[in-house]
Chains A and B, each alone.
Chain A
Amino acid sequence: MLAFVLQRLYQAVLVMLAVGFIAFALFNFVGDPINGMVGVDTSLADRERLRQELGLNDSFVVQFARFIGHAIRGDFGLSYQEARPVSQIILEKLPATLELSSVAAGLALLLGVPMGIFTALYRRSWLSQLLLAVSLIGVSLPTFLIGILLILVFAVVLGWLPSFGRGSVVHFGWWSSGLVTLDGWRAIILPAVTLALFQTTLIMRLVRAEMIEVLRTDYIKFARARGLSSRAVNFGHALKNTLIPVITIAGLQLGSIIAFAIITETVFQWPGMGLMFIQAVGFVDIPVMAAYLVLVGFFFVVINFVVDLLYFVLDPRLSVGRERVGIG
């Protein structure tokens, strides 16, 4: 068990270093950092002095090490666009994205898993066919289009829900939450549904495909041959065997919600990290881009790690001893 954890940890560190490297390369080689920070009429001598001060003339390795050192402490310098610390900007926007992503992830699981089970067990029912057809549309419609349509229907035509912003937000320390106000909930519904739709359909299809596979196995056949009840076969045996591989893939999928949030936040003008990133790309605000990259990379690595661990814990074939006793 320990060996497994250490190996995964080692891989995680490697990936983070790779991500950090890319972010660093972004930082240093795309455009001139000095140009982003000073005015046009700064003299060459002054620029050179600034360069020296900032340590931009040091060797590559030194600069990289310094970058990593700063990154670990969360210091990414100043944003070109807003001229204030990137870390500050991130802390402001992080809660918005995290809340949106969590609600969307919860929705996706709550809807996707049961629907997947249903469509696997009752393959020929009309409801299953309907759900499958709708799921196909969910996978085909671009997220932004869904967002626009939802805005059109619920905000413009019906006027029930707001079309942008977070609604009223309450601050707890550095965290700002929209989930404690009714207003906040009304504001989060449309974006969360938009974000969740793609994931829900994916999870539903995943659960369905996996469960159908499992229902075809020999041990299910044998369970039926032993006269076990349908409930025992479907939910006791089939479901457990289905959920374990599903958990790993679903976990990774949900991790990618953070990235898809970019789109949703843009459509709904949701003040989160995704919107921040898009604005940074448009402005070529390198420090912000780099910081986002490292943060998201870190997030993915953590999710990957947790999912791997989960798989290890849940599957007895991996965790329980592999001694084979007996000679037939």
Chain B
Amino acid sequence: MAEPLLRVESLRVELPTRRGVLTALDDVSFTIAAGEVLGIVGESGAGKSVTGAAIIGLLEPPLRIAGGRISLAGRRIDNLPYNAMRAIRGKKIGAIFQDPLTSLNPLYTIGQQLVETIRTHLNLSAAAARDRALALLSEVGIAGADERIDHYPHQFSGGMRQRIVISLAIAANPQLIIADEPTTALDVSIQAQILALLRRLCRDHGTAVMLITHDIGVIAETAHRVAVMYSGRIVEIGAVRDIVANPRHPYTCGLMSSIPRIGGSRDRLRQVEGAMPRLDEFPPGCAFNPRCPETVERCRLERPHLLPTGTSAVACWLYDEALMQAEAVVDG
């Protein structure tokens, strides 16, 4: 198997506070292949954004990487010095964030911001850079780019601004884009357009995407694979079709069944009772066990790690049990 574009192994991110050291990410491992869209889904505070920030090297202090490795195209990047990481940012790994309004500097025209980014990574003259900027704007669907390139961010609508943000992120043709809630701040109709744009760009340029969101619908529409995060850990990971149709982890099951479906029953939506534990209040064993409807004794004692089940993996003792039982049957 070819080396995946991005490999994250046992990533651990800690947050030192005056009450002690809290764990924001614990033993997070996954890979992203070139051109693949991996969705990262979970509640607020599950650690999705922290994962993205860690990969691109923009963790806000006092958050810090405390263990594990991150490798890009086989090269380790989590321990690089600032300047080496800076060369990667924008050029190999790009990022887009949630709020397009605050992502753009209000005092510069979008042309100025584009040209600056282009010339930082590519050795082009001002005129050539401007041409490339125009091409990028057309590619993301901004009509009348010749004129609009000299406008300021506040002169664009929300959806247009997000397109500009995307154009800035792909300006230097990175291999991987980390998209942190790219459509959350947009109207539903615009969401669809932006997602379609992302899909098209990835196909055309072969860019991989790490799509972070709390909205499973977005994942189902856009991603190839998905990782479900809970309390800083990945609890299930696999192909989107697989997970959506056949969720295994009790949390994932809860997530899926809380989505209203057209033609589904008219009863109340099932909710997952309780709330995600605070960083300083982790229960022993599996983080989900207080809310889980199907716990066994082991859940409260030992943290489950990712166990393979066919083409996906689940971090849940229920599936280990099943395997063991199956083996027991086979053996004896």
The answer on direct contact between A and B (beta carbons under 8 Å) is yes
Residues of A within 8 A of B (CB): 217-219, 221-230, 232, 236-237, 240-241, 244, 315-317, 320-328
From residue B184, how far is it (CB to closest CB) to chain A in Å? 13
Docked pose: A221 CA to B56 CA in angstroms: 11
Max chain B C-beta neighbours (<10 A), residue from A227, A228, A236, A241? A227
From A223, A228, A326, B156 is in contact (CB under 8 Å) with A326
Stretch among B113-121, B210-218, B227-235, B268-276 lining the A interface: B113-121
Interface size classification for chain B: 35 or more
With contacts A226-B168, A236-B116 taken as known, whether A244 is within 8 angstroms of B107 at the C-beta atoms is yes
Interface hits, B149-197 → A, CB 8 Å: 151-152, 154-160, 165, 168-169, 171-172, 186-187, 189-190, 193
From A221, A222, A229, A236, B168 is in contact (CB under 8 Å) with A222
Docked pose: A263 CA to B95 CA in angstroms: 55
Residue contact B95 to A222, C-beta cutoff 8 Å: yes
Docked pose: A219 CA to B154 CA in angstroms: 13
With contacts A316-B152, A323-B155 taken as known, whether A227 is within 8 angstroms of B90 at the C-beta atoms is yes
Stretch among B81-89, B259-267, B318-326 lining the A interface: B81-89
In the complex, which residue of chain B has the Cβ closest to the Cβ of A228? B120
Is B26 part of the binding interface, using a Cβ–Cβ cutoff of 8 Å? no
Max chain A C-beta neighbours (<10 A), residue from B56, B99, B103? B103
Residues of B within 8 A of A (CB): 56, 58, 86-91, 94-97, 99, 102-108, 116-117, 120-121, 142-144, 148, 151-152, 154-160, 165, 168-169, 171-172, 186-187, 189-190, 193
From residue A27, how far is it (CB to closest CB) to chain B in Å? 48
Q: What A residues does B154 contact at CB under 8 A? A: 316-317, 322
Docked pose: A328 CA to B186 CA in angstroms: 9
Q: List 15 A-B contacts (CB under 8 A).
A: A219-B106, A221-B97, A225-B94, A225-B95, A227-B120, A228-B117, A229-B86, A229-B120, A230-B86, A232-B120, A241-B107, A324-B157, A325-B155, A326-B142, A326-B156
Docked pose: A228 CA to B86 CA in angstroms: 7
Q: What A residues does B165 contact at CB under 8 A? A: 222
Additional 6 contacts, C-beta under 8 A, given A315-B107, A325-B156: A221-B97, A221-B103, A227-B172, A322-B154, A327-B159, A328-B160
Docked pose: A19 CA to B161 CA in angstroms: 47
Residue contact A222 to B97, C-beta cutoff 8 Å: yes
Docked pose: A70 CA to B85 CA in angstroms: 70
The 7 closest A-B pairs by CB, nearest first: A328-B159, A227-B90, A227-B89, A328-B190, A218-B102, A225-B95, A226-B90
Q: What B residues does A225 contact at CB under 8 A? A: 56, 58, 89-90, 94-95, 97, 169
Residue contact B187 to A328, C-beta cutoff 8 Å: yes
Residue contact A328 to B106, C-beta cutoff 8 Å: no
Residue contact A228 to B103, C-beta cutoff 8 Å: no
Q: What B residues does A224 contact at CB under 8 A? A: 58, 89
Q: What B residues does A321 contact at CB under 8 A? A: 155
From B103, B142, B190, A219 is in contact (CB under 8 Å) with B103
Q: What B residues does A326 contact at CB under 8 A? A: 142-143, 156-157, 159-160
Docked pose: A162 CA to B160 CA in angstroms: 65
Docked pose: A204 CA to B239 CA in angstroms: 55
Docked pose: A317 CA to B156 CA in angstroms: 12
In the complex, which residue of chain A has the Cβ closest to the Cβ of B191? A328
Docked pose: A324 CA to B159 CA in angstroms: 11
Residue contact A227 to B116, C-beta cutoff 8 Å: no
From residue B310, how far is it (CB to closest CB) to chain A in Å? 36
In the complex, which residue of chain A has the Cβ closest to the Cβ of B91? A227
Docked pose: A315 CA to B142 CA in angstroms: 24
Q: What B residues does A322 contact at CB under 8 A? A: 154-155
From residue B13, how far is it (CB to closest CB) to chain A in Å? 17
Residue contact A226 to B117, C-beta cutoff 8 Å: yes
Docked pose: A96 CA to B316 CA in angstroms: 82
In the complex, which residue of chain A has the Cβ closest to the Cβ of B143? A326
From B90, B99, B144, B189, A328 is in contact (CB under 8 Å) with B189
Residue contact A240 to B157, C-beta cutoff 8 Å: no
Q: What A residues does B171 contact at CB under 8 A? A: 226
In the complex, which residue of chain A has the Cβ closest to the Cβ of B90? A227
Docked pose: A99 CA to B148 CA in angstroms: 48
Q: What B residues does A327 contact at CB under 8 A? A: 157, 159
In the complex, which residue of chain A has the Cβ closest to the Cβ of B160? A326
In the complex, which residue of chain A has the Cβ closest to the Cβ of B162? A328
From residue A326, how far is it (CB to closest CB) to chain B in Å? 5
From residue B71, how far is it (CB to closest CB) to chain A in Å? 19
Q: What B residues does A223 contact at CB under 8 A? A: 105
From residue A306, how far is it (CB to closest CB) to chain B in Å? 20
In the complex, which residue of chain A has the Cβ closest to the Cβ of B189? A328
From residue B64, how far is it (CB to closest CB) to chain A in Å? 15
Docked pose: A219 CA to B95 CA in angstroms: 12
Docked pose: A316 CA to B151 CA in angstroms: 10
Docked pose: A188 CA to B34 CA in angstroms: 69
Q: What B residues does A219 contact at CB under 8 A? A: 102-106
Docked pose: A322 CA to B104 CA in angstroms: 16
From residue A60, how far is it (CB to closest CB) to chain B in Å? 50
Docked pose: A1 CA to B5 CA in angstroms: 53
Residue contact B158 to A228, C-beta cutoff 8 Å: no
Docked pose: A325 CA to B58 CA in angstroms: 34
From A232, A240, A320, B152 is in contact (CB under 8 Å) with A320
Docked pose: A240 CA to B171 CA in angstroms: 23
